[in-house]
Amino acid sequence: MGIDPNFDRNREQVGEENGVAVWGPVDPPEKLGIHGSHVAVDYDICVADGACLEDCPVDVFTWVETPDHPASERKVEPTREDQCIDCMLCVDICPVDAIDVDASRS
Ligand code: SF4
């Protein structure tokens, strides 16, 4: 199952990391929640495939290390989500549907 596109209604924002909103529940290192608003990545689904980071035309994503997370030991953080042009490439390319993009959440 992929990221919940209604996470902003179904979850609570529990903090911020590098200026990016974090939506709980969070219980590191195993449970890391959803990171981002306009561009949101479910860290508990992300397998660090990296296609989104490589192909995003405006370089929204950066790698962050997540040691001991069961799905992958690094994640793509939507650090520059304010630059997103809503092309939806990352949403379409993610092999595990870990990303949702919605400008109404910015
Ligand atoms: S929708 Fe397009 S511009 Fe926005 S983060 Fe994804 S790949 Fe980048």
CA of 43 to the centre of ligand 1 (A): 17
For the entire predicted model, the pTM comes to 0.98
pLDDT at 21: 98
Over residues 11-35, mean pLDDT: 98
Q: Is the beta carbon of 85 within 6 A of some atom in ligand 1? A: yes
pLDDT at 68: 98
| pLDDT mean across residues, the chain | 98
Residue 4's region, left for phi above 0, alpha for psi from -120 to 50, else beta, is beta
Q: Per CATH, the architecture of 13-99 is what?
A: 2-Layer Sandwich (3.30)
**CB contact at 8 A, 47 and 95:** yes
Over residues 46-54, mean pLDDT: 98
Over residues 76-103, mean pLDDT: 98
Reported confidence tier of residue 74, pLDDT bands at 50, 70, 90: very high
Please tell me the residue having the least CA distance from ligand 1 atom 3. 84
